[in-house]
Chains A and B, each alone.
Chain A
Amino acid sequence: MAVRREEERTTVDRYPGRVRVNHWVTAISLILLALSGAALFHPSLFFLSSFFGGGSNTRMLHPWIGVVLLLSFAILFVQMVRYNFWTRVDTEWMRHIGDVMAGREENLPEIGKYNGAQKLVFWLMTLMILVLFGTGLMIWYEYFGTSFTIEQQRFAHIVHALAAIAMLLVVIVHIYAGFYVRGTINAMTEGKVTGGWAFRHHRLWLRREARKGVIDERQVPPRRHGVGPAE
């Protein structure tokens, strides 16, 4: 993790490859789960089952994708949890949620690697995945059909459906924030963000990273007017 002076810009390392791979495995399994679950959720969405090879295959695949999700998220959790503990700054930041929505970041306190909303997403995801996995096992009829009473399974069904809805809301917020705050996607595609992005959104984190040192990756001295190779 470091701040890098590149040719045309300054970047800050945000996620190493192992975190990014894990993030995308989690994201893809989540989307597949939402699509396959939706197929069973409402008749008007049953057509989604054709993307999974028909109704029976959807029914069979969905819980296994859930297992993949649980495993990849467990690793992601270990990789990220230390940055996600709640601090007083997060409470302060949350009070200014109106400024956040309006894009007036000047009014916000300086924050570290994650802001309050990001931490909230992290913890809500953790909770939802645990609830979805627990209730998911209870309604996994092929293997656990007789492990729980019918009454317990009925409750698990409604909780699973409600948790899936709550989860989708969190996911919508999460994806939307990634796009709305320009320059954020790069963190998960290339693994780094620009210095300006870090300054605007996570200044405290930028301070800490810069204090660790700056790597100069420029091949040639910085160009000055009238100097340098002909174009």
Chain B
Amino acid sequence: MAGLQSQDFARISATTFRPPDVRHDFEVAKLIDVSKCIGCKACQAACLEWNNLREEVGFNIGVYDNPHDLTPNTWTLMRFTEWENAESGNLEWLIRKDGCMHCADPGCLKACPAPGAIVQYNNGIVDFVSENCIGCGYCVKGCPFNIPRISQTDHKAYKCTLCSDRVSVGQAPACAKACPTGAIVFGTKEAMLNYAEGRITDLKSRGFKNAGIYDPPGVGGTHVMYVLHHADRPQLYANLPQNPRISQVVELWKGLTKYTGMAVVGFAAMFAFVHATVARRNDVSRAEDREAEHLIDEEAARGREA
């Protein structure tokens, strides 16, 4: 958050106010080259360190994933998959650095009901603004990558910030700085796409014929991208979605439902108002009061007889 101001906002959650969009930043991107990753978790440690977070000591259940899932403190997590490649007969160790993808069309932001709790900067970074977060968990359901986590301590949502505080002063994210193999690189989105080209050509020359970039168009592209050796099968990498997009249910819920809801309830209230002024007053007449007396006497007499 630090250093970025409202002039830098491209989108703001739950607000009808359109950001001024006065600064036209370069779009940034982080490129994670899965083929270069050795699974050392230096990035995971750097994330905790830079963001001053602590993770609880957990349990070993026989896998390398530690902790077992993203948490309000673990904003990035190495996910390990052992996969037997039937074609080559090799056992491949696929390691993916999971975390927020900083979607160009962020589902979290679309779902969020709290004004300003989620913002997207002009440089493409999607950031959660804790002061404005109400802890409802809508973002969890908006996100196609299952990223946000709500803290049970302060009831706020947390996820990777792409080190927006570092980026705003011209620094690369802490994880990119820490990676010993250069598997994480950071720069403008254009530069990262160019860089990825070279990596993909290299991988293809080494026999990974399906090597490619993961920059899913369903969410408008992302500001965290992967180079995958098997880009045709992203699910291999701990269920990275093949074609992620904001769920149709979420689109309907946040789209049509809102407008028709407001319109229908507004119309009903209007109709009630008009009917109240136009229709004949539905009041009891003197005659009915008198007839009621007769009826009561009659029925009371009948009741006494019975």
Is B265 within 8 A of A172, CB to CB?
yes
Is B141 within 8 A of A58, CB to CB?
no
Q: Find chain B residues with CB under 8 A from A198 CB.
A: 292
Closest chain A residue to B294 by CB distance? A199
Complexed CA–CA distance, A188 and B292 (Å): 21
Is B16 within 8 A of A165, CB to CB?
no
Is A142 within 8 A of B296, CB to CB?
no
Q: Find chain A residues with CB under 8 A from B250 CB.
A: 154, 157
Q: Which range contains the number of A residues in contact with the other chain? A: 35 or more
Is B135 within 8 A of A10, CB to CB?
no
Dominant SS at the B interface? Answer: helix
Q: Find chain A residues with CB under 8 A from B293 CB.
A: 10, 195
Q: Which range contains the number of B residues in contact with the other chain? A: 35 or more
Complexed CA–CA distance, A102 and B275 (Å): 9
Contact status of A206 and B295, CB under 8 A, knowing A41-B261, A46-B114, A195-B289: yes
Is A211 within 8 A of B253, CB to CB?
no
Is B265 within 8 A of A165, CB to CB?
yes
Query: Which of B21-29, B47-55, B189-197, B279-287 is the contact stretch?
Result: B279-287
Contact status of A153 and B141, CB under 8 A, knowing A158-B253, A176-B272, A211-B303: yes
Residue in A162, A196, A207, A208 whose beta carbon sits within 8 Å of that of B285 in the complex: A196
Which residues from chain B sit less than 8 Å from chain A, CB to CB? 14-16, 113-115, 132, 134-138, 140-141, 146, 150, 152, 155, 247, 249-250, 252-253, 257-258, 260-262, 264-265, 268-269, 272, 275-276, 279-285, 288-289, 291-293, 295-296, 298-300, 302-304, 306
A-B contact pairs, 12 of them (CB 8 A): A56-B155, A58-B134, A59-B135, A172-B265, A182-B284, A195-B289, A196-B292, A200-B284, A203-B295, A206-B296, A210-B295, A210-B296
